[in-house]
A and B are shown apart, each in its own frame.
Chain A
Amino acid sequence: MTRSVQLQLMLLPSAVALAGCVGIILYGAAYWSILPACLGGIAGSLWSRVLLMRLSRAPARIDPPSQTHQEYPLVASVSAFGADMAPVWARQIETAREQTEHAISALSGDFASLVEQLDEAIRIASRIAGDTPDEEQTVSGLFAASDRALQQVVETLRAVLEEKTALMKELGGLLSFTEELDKMARDVASVASQTNLLALNAAIEAARAGDKGRGFAVVADEVRKLSQVSGETGQRIGEKVRIINQAITSAFTAGEASHDKDSQAVAVVETTLGKVLANLRALAEGMTVAGEELRQRSARIQLQVSEAIVQLQFQDRTSQILAHTVANISATGAAFEQTAESFRETQTIALIDIPALLADLEHSYAMAEERGNHSGTAARNMENEVTFF
């Protein structure tokens, strides 16, 4: 077996294994169905191990070359793969990982903002629709409070009207009193007139009595004067009573007109408020129906948000798978480069320790899927697992 063939047998299986890993990265990570690519990787790995075991039985030392390593294009290719190609693959995958991470982070941020605004809108709408612990802030609560307040206004207006009615009755009572007073004043005037007449008769009789009647004449004159004063007083009382009577009559008339207007106003207010309250009641009932619809929609939205939250977490898992794979590609590239370098220096084939590379890759895993993919067995679904300690 020539050195060239030996080297090819050593490197080709490794390349197949690496291609399997890349298959995992490029297809498996995107679709979570990486078994075929993984199997390629595993097959490559096993092939590599078998061939390397065979090679390991062959002399590791190659006959000293008569040519420099430039005469072994395969060594240069191995070196180029390790130094140039593997890093390019690693950078490309890392770039894709970073771009995905940034995009999903931005998307998650937008989604978070959207959910926050949606929650606020639902809170406001729920409050309006009556789905809030604070009864005063619901439409039905506001309606009930408004109803109570407006009924109080109507009650107050009615009370004022009733007080006014009572006042009008009092005024009516005063009018009857003034009529009585007027009659009493007329009676006083009449008594004074009769007294005056009696005094005149007494004076006449006193004159007939001569000297004996002189004293009685003085008394009769005084009585006449008193009757005149009484008559004048009675007239003045009558005049004052008539003035008062006119004033009370005017006040009563004005009061009656005002009372009628107030009664009409209260009736209008009651009718208007009744209509307003009926409209509000209809609105409140409509809002209650809308509130129920809102609650149902809100529940559906929350369910969808929960599903979206689960789906948005894929980036974290993808990112980890890619990061682990990139690290292993870099390590594999370095191993290839080291093998080529070793060959140049010692003309000895330093076997690439694929099992060690695979072990390192396996050690880096965090997820059950990664371990399942690695071993080629179905991974147990660990999602949503909660363990309390």
Chain B
Amino acid sequence: MAKTILVVDDSASIRQVVGIALKGAGYEVIEAVNGQEALDSLGGQRIHLVISDVNMPVMDGITFLKKLKEKAEYKFTPVIMLTTESAENKKAEGQAAGAKAWVVKPFQPQQLLGAVSKLVMA
């Protein structure tokens, strides 16, 4: 059965290209345009991994990550931050909030898939 990955990004084109990479590797993808929509759409369903942008309107990626980790059913769901943000202090924020990996855009599909595969299997 295909693993389900939640992709959270306010850029439609980024959601599309991430979807291309993930679906091509056999993953099932669900999308949200910001952190709040992602939280609202979860509904307790099984998510194997989350890929989230950092800078988003309504609710940014770090806040979303913190709120996600407060939910018992998603406490151990691995999260990859996929962002144009490369500042070390931002990375540290992501790590403190519980992110497992930080990928700087633009990403190479193979690298993202490598990180996804590593964390989904973990």
> Which residue numbers of A lie inside 8 Å of B, CB to CB?
101, 104-105, 107-109, 111-112, 115-116, 119, 302, 305-306, 309-317, 319-320, 366-368, 371, 382-389
Contacts and interface: CB of A to CB of B under 8 A. Distances in A.
A104 B16 CA distance: 10
Contact of A119 (B24, B87, B104, B114): B24
B107 interface: yes
Interface of B: 11-14, 16-17, 19-21, 23-24, 54-55, 83-87, 91, 94-95, 99-112, 114-115, 118
B107 A384 contact: yes
Contact of B107 (A105, A116, A310): A310
Nearest to A369: B84
B78 to A, nearest CB: 10
Nearest to B113: A306
Given A116-B23, A309-B21, A366-B83, A108 B103 contact: no
B101 A309 contact: no
Which A-B residue pairs are the 7 nearest by beta carbons?
A108-B16, A105-B12, A313-B106, A382-B86, A108-B13, A385-B104, A387-B102
Contacts, number: 116
B101 to A, nearest CB: 5
A107 B12 CA distance: 10
Contacts of A312: 13, 16-17
Given A104-B13, A305-B20, A310 B108 contact: yes
Nearest to B95: A389
A109 B16 contact: yes
A108 B11 CA distance: 11
Contacts of A382: 86, 104
A313 to B, nearest CB: 4
A112 to B, nearest CB: 5
B106 A115 contact: no
A316 B106 CA distance: 9
18 contacts: A108-B17, A309-B109, A310-B108, A311-B106, A312-B13, A313-B13, A314-B106, A316-B13, A316-B14, A316-B84, A317-B84, A320-B55, A366-B84, A383-B105, A385-B102, A386-B104, A387-B103, A389-B95
A384 B11 contact: no
A384 B106 contact: yes
A383 B112 CA distance: 12
A388 B54 contact: no
A107, A116, A306, A368: residue with the most chain B Cβ atoms closer than 10 Å: A306
A305 B16 CA distance: 13
Nearest to B100: A389
Contact of B115 (A306, A310, A388): A388
A307 to B, nearest CB: 9
A385 B105 CA distance: 8
Given A366-B84, A368-B86, A389-B101, A101 B111 contact: no
Nearest to B99: A389
Contacts of B102: 385-387, 389
